[in-house]
Amino acid sequence: MKDLTFIQQLKRELPTWVNKGWVKKENQNHILDYVSQTQESKPDTSSNTSNTITFTLAWMGVILLTGGIVTFFAHTWAIFPKITKLGILFGSLWICFGLSYLFQKRTSNIEFNQRMSELFSFLGLIIFGANIWLISQIYHIDEHYPTGVLLWSLAALSTAYLIRSHVGLIISIILATLWSAMETFDFMRSVHWGFPILWLFFLYPCIEYRWKRTLHFACFCLLAWSFFIIILFVADFFFMQVYFLIGLATFLLGRILTTYKTFKDLGPYFQHYGAAAALLGLFIPTFPFNITKERGLFFDIIPSVGGTETLIAILAVLFAMIWLAKRAKNTFDHTSFIYGQGIFIILCLIMGVNLLLGTHIEHHRAFISITFNVLFLAGLGWIIYSGYQFRDQVLVNLGFVFFALIILSRYVDTFWTYLNRSVFYITGGLILTVGCYYFEKQRRKIAARIEQKAGGRE
Amino acid sequence: MGLRISLVVFLLTLTLFGIIGIKQWTLHHGKPITLQVDNSDLIPLFTGEVVRIRYNINAIPLDKLAEEDVELNTHEIVYVVLKKGITYWEPEKVYLKKPNIEPDEIVLKGEITNRNFDSDMLYLKYGIENYSISANESKKLEKPGTEDKIGVQVVVDRFGNAAIRAVLVNDQERYVEKLF
């Protein structure tokens, strides 16, 4: 059946496309004929809604069925001999992937069958995870349990690679993050390097199949992973300096990637998440009580961060800066780059002084925190300006969010003890209301200018 | 696509078989040892319950540490060298790295569970502390009397991994761990 809405919309749009020169006038009718024919030959596409309903019902059915099977076996599991148990475990796994294949193979109602295929591969992966734990129970395997989660994540990743399973990749990312969280918090690994190594393998399917939201999710999980480390290292001021530098280097790497045709799409992700990490790294030292040199919350497992690590991180940033300057010689916005360099040099000097102070850093809290507050605000200004220059709305938004955060933090820090509680809340409320209105107005102005600029260039 | 799905199923199945295989390898190639256990811990085994077994090697005096002035943390892996005593195998030394051993010794891989050294003891686990006989199997077993001595036979492979191979009653095998 024809999708009339689509054809009518196409009819309306085509004259505009002809005017813009994207489509030749004589081809207009050919396109409409072709679309009309393909719509005709397509199976009942108007049944998309009913497809979704059927698919949702199928999901619910599968969940109910799984629940029923689990409940049944939970009651009777112990009475089965090992061979029956293994038969059930392996059989259910094979049946799920078998059904996934059958739905994949069907040529009618492709979209629905694809979804069903994906649903059964998802179920197969869930069963695989359950099988790991049940087999461990049957054979009394009492090993390092995060390894089970890692195996599960790797299995999901292999389905993402081999059968292009989107849901497989999402499961793999979630499980990898869980694995890292278990290793970090349950087993006190100071920095769990296994995660970023595994994370690199998430990039290929995201880029190859253009799974942009999943790439966002993967980047978010990487940021969350770095946050696990912050929690362990938060009492080490020098670590926060290094964290900021790594975030900055990632941000610059993102900008470098945008200059390469192959990695152009990947660049903004590195830029945005790198900027978020860098701002977070610079935000934490703006709190005077965070300026300490201890070995972390879990004191005995945290290696101390010092001059060598800071120097390596500074060199990484410098290397990225030189690389970027070389790559974008002609297209470069020198104004923002020079400002950025200035802020970076001052930051490096401050970091050097802090390192020289060593454990005496706590005696100079006031001076250091004031300096970091000033530099943080300068950095925010730079991020917003840079976002405006490069027509990057996300950077502008990020700058405004951190700006609101620092204003709120300093207000609470400063006035919590000095003001009467009611005056504190009234003033705070006013600052929030008026401030939010003002910031939002400014943000919208910049967003409009960015759009205008983008339109102008087009 | 068929081939690719088959490959996924093959990999997943292989992983699960691998998990079973590693344990079976230890059971078949490990050297059997007898460890001292608390007799009362093991009685519920014969009713199909999961028991928590306490071995003599779960708590080792700190002076058995081979290295001096080392910082030990919870979850750290250590290697315990065991030597046969009069009846049971007893801990000789505890190492941070797998040591070379004499022919009459074996090395067992353990994980530190408690780093509270106030009691001068090192608390370890070896992955053989939880055990059960399935309800189906336990029904078939002759129940031990109150006078009977219950024990477990543990096997240790050359990598230091341990597994429970059999449940003993008066030093005779009453239940042996099988693949199926």
- Neighboring chain A residues of B133 at a CB cutoff of 8 Å: none
Closest Cα of chain A to B50: distance in Å? 10
**Residue A158: closest C-alpha in chain B:** B8
pTM: 0.80
Nearest-Cα distance to chain B for A360, in Å, is: 27
User: B16 and A124 in contact by Cβ < 8 A?
Assistant: no
Nearest CB to B11 within list A89, A155, A186: A155
Residues B63 and B36 in one domain: no
Q: Measured between CA atoms, how close is B145 to chain A, in angstroms?
A: 25
- Do the chains contact at A94 and B9, CB–CB below 8 Å? yes
Inspect the interface and report whether the beta carbons of B23 and A94 lie closer than 8 Å.
no
Q: Do A300 and B73 touch (CB under 8 A)?
A: yes
Residue ranges in chain B modelled with pLDDT below 50: none
Winning range, highest mean pLDDT, from A269-278, A305-314, A385-394: A269-278
Residue B1 placed within a domain: no
Q: What integer pLDDT is reported at residue B47 of this predicted model? A: 81
Confidence check: pLDDT of A140 > 80:
yes
DSSP string, A69-87: HHHHHHHHGGGS-HHHHHH
Q: What length is written for chain A? A: 458
CA A10 to chain centre: 35
Q: How many domains does chain A have?
A: 1
3 state DSSP class of B115: coil
Q: By the CB < 8 Å criterion, does B87 face chain A?
A: no
Residue A1's pLDDT is: 46
Of A268, A159, A266, A280, which is closest to residue A229 (Cα–Cα)? A280
Candidates A90, A139, A149, partner chain B, best to mutate (most B CBs within 10 A): A139
Q: Would residue A375 count as lying in a domain?
A: no
**DSSP class of A302:** P
Interface touch B16/A301, C-beta < 8 Å: no
Residue A187 domain flag: no
- Strands B89-95, B77-84: pairing kind: antiparallel
Instruction: With respect to residue A153, please indicate whether it lies within any of the assigned structural domains.
Output: no
In a domain, residue B10? The reply is no
Q: Residue A40 pLDDT > 70, yes or no? A: no
Residue B130, Cβ density class (10 Å: 0-12 exposed, 13-18 middle, ≥19 buried)? middle
In this structure, the answer to whether residues B115 and B147 fall within a common structural domain is: no
Domain ranges, residue B84: 56-125
One domain, residues B97 and B156? no
Query: Which residue does chain A place closest to B10, by CA atoms?
Result: A94
A96 located within any domain: no
The verdict on residue B83 lying in a domain is yes
- Please tell me which residue, A51 or B137, carries the higher pLDDT value: B137
| SS3 label, residue B83 | strand
Distance CA A133, CA B143 (A): 30
Per residue in A338-379, pLDDT (tens digit) is 778 888 888 888 888 877 777 777 777 778 888 888 889 998
Q: Mean pLDDT across the stretch A438-448? A: 80
How close is the nearest chain A Cα to the Cα of B134, in Å? Answer: 6
pLDDT in the model for residue A189 = 67
The yes-or-no verdict on residue A125 having pLDDT over 80 is: yes
Chain A residues touching residue B130 (CB < 8 angstroms): 140, 142
**Of residues B1, B8, B131, nearest to A140 (C-beta):** B131
Q: Tell me, yes or no, if B12 comes closer than 8 A to chain A by beta carbon.
A: yes
Residues of chain B in contact with residue A295, where contact means CB-CB under 8 angstroms, are none
In this predicted structure, what is the pLDDT of residue A458? Answer: 46
Q: Mean pLDDT, chain A, as a whole number? A: 82
Q: What pLDDT score was predicted for residue A451? A: 73
Residue B96 covered by a domain: yes
Q: Is the pLDDT of residue A295 over 60?
A: no
Contact B180 A101 (CB under 8 A): no
* Per-residue pLDDT at A120 exceeds 50: yes
Task: Check residue A333 and give its pLDDT.
Answer: 62
Report pLDDT digits (tens) over A248-269.
999 999 988 888 888 888 889 9
Cα A274 to Cα A264: distance, rounded to the nearest angstrom:
16
Neighbours of B56 (CB within 10 A): 16
Interface contact B42, partner A, CB < 8 A? no
Asked whether residue B156 falls in the same domain as residue B104, the answer is no
Complex ipTM:
0.91
Q: Are residues B41 and B88 in the same domain?
A: no
| Minimum distance, in Å, between the CA of residue B136 and any CA atom of chain A | 5
Q: What is the mean pLDDT of residues A66-72?
A: 76
Span A290-309, average pLDDT: 62
Which chain A residue's Cα is nearest to B2? A101
Rounded to a whole number of angstroms, the distance from the CA of B117 to the nearest CA of chain A is 14
Contact yes or no for B9 and A93 at CB 8 A = yes
Q: What is the pLDDT of residue A299?
A: 47
Residues A373-425 have pLDDT tens digits of: 888 999 898 888 888 888 888 998 999 899 888 888 888 877 777 777 777 77
How far apart CA B42 and CA B37 sit, in angstroms, is: 9
Q: Which of B125, B142, B172 is the last residue of a domain?
A: B125
A interface with B, Cβ–Cβ below 8 Å: 78-83, 86, 89-90, 93-94, 97, 100-101, 104-105, 121, 124, 128, 131-132, 135-136, 139-144, 151, 155, 158-159, 162-163, 186-188, 300-301
Please report the residues numbered 48 through 77 in chain B whose beta carbons come closer than 8 angstroms to any beta carbon of chain A: 48, 71, 73-75
B39, part of any domain: yes
Task: Identify the residue with better confidence: A326 or A436.
Answer: A326
Residues of A in contact with B1 (CB under 8 A): 101, 104-105, 163
Using an 8 Å Cβ cutoff, are B115 and B62 in contact? no
Query: Does any domain span residue A26?
Result: yes
- What range does the domain containing A33 cover? 4-42
- Distance (Å) from the alpha carbon of B29 to chain A's nearest alpha carbon: 16
Whether residue B163 lies inside any domain: the answer is yes
What confidence tier does A39 reach under pLDDT thresholds 50, 70, 90?
low
In a domain, B2, yes or no: no
Q: Do B20 and A135 touch (CB under 8 A)?
A: yes
Q: Does residue B61 sit within a domain?
A: yes
How many domains does one find in chain B? 2
Q: Which two tokens stand for residue B92?
A: 């000789």
